[in-house]
Amino acid sequence: MELLLTVNGSLYEVNVHPTARLLDVLREDLGFTGTKEGCAEGECGACTVLVDGKAVASCVMLAVQARGKEIVTVEGLARDGELDLLQQKFVEYGAVQCGFCTPGMLMSAKALLLANPVPSDQDIRVALAGNLCRCTGYSAIIAAVKAASGQEATPLMELPGAAEELAAEVQTDPDTLAAAREAAEKIAGLGPAPHGEA
């Protein structure tokens, strides 16, 4: 069926299977592969996008249900090649590790900040409760969202000795640091990945 969808401010006309999910159309028809498929049942939050400013799981919403609504994906956060403040804080606070959950985390956090520009730690935890991350332990993510709201980030736990050493090593090696930053920025969604890439 023919469908008109507004994604990141642009209007797209797509011809989709009637029961195609919003996730499928975003990724496969429109190439917005920043939106990830994780559990495919609305539990993990990797597929989170904004629909009319609200975070929804695009794996349990049909594309037809998004007709006439404003959809924003992670690709819609950066402006003119500059990361959104939220993305910058994710990079700065080390809130990105493998990166698979990151687009969903960013969109849930974005929806929170749109509705509540000065959230408490608890507000952030509730807003991100539907986004699973198996790497970061969440603390850095919560700190990044707090910082993006202009509030002082809650201090992270003291790093244990070995990790502290490793961190010091990374910080003193400009090559490693630059590579890590580059990877993190890419993962945090600066521009869409080329079509077909995950």
In the complex with other proteins, which residue's Cβ is closer, 53 or 150?
A: 53
Separation between Cα atoms, residue 52 and residue 66, nearest integer Å: 9
CB 127 within 8 A of CB 73: no
Question: How many residues can be counted in the chain?
Answer: 198
In whole angstroms, how close is the CB of 68 to other proteins at the nearest point?
Answer: 9
The binder of other proteins chosen from 17, 134, 181, 186 (CB under 8 A): 17
Helix (H, G, I), strand (E, B) or coil at 79: strand
Question: Taking contact as CB under 8 A, which single stretch among the options 57-65, 89-97, 142-150, 176-184 is the one that binds other proteins?
Answer: 57-65
In whole angstroms, how close is the CB of 129 to other proteins at the nearest point?
Answer: 4
Residue 55 touching other proteins (CB under 8 A): yes
Write the CA distances from 76 to 59, 82, 94, 99, 148, integer angstroms. Answer: 19, 11, 21, 17, 17
In the complex with other proteins, which residue's Cβ is closer, 27 or 91?
A: 27
In the complex with other proteins, which residue's Cβ is closer, 56 or 71?
A: 56
Residue 130 touching other proteins (CB under 8 A): yes
CA dihedral of 198, 131, 67, 29, whole degrees rounded to 10: 10
CB 22 within 8 A of CB 65: yes
Instruction: List residues near other proteins by CB under 8 A.
Output: 1, 17-19, 21, 40-43, 45, 48, 51, 54-57, 59-62, 64-65, 67, 108, 111, 126-127, 129-131
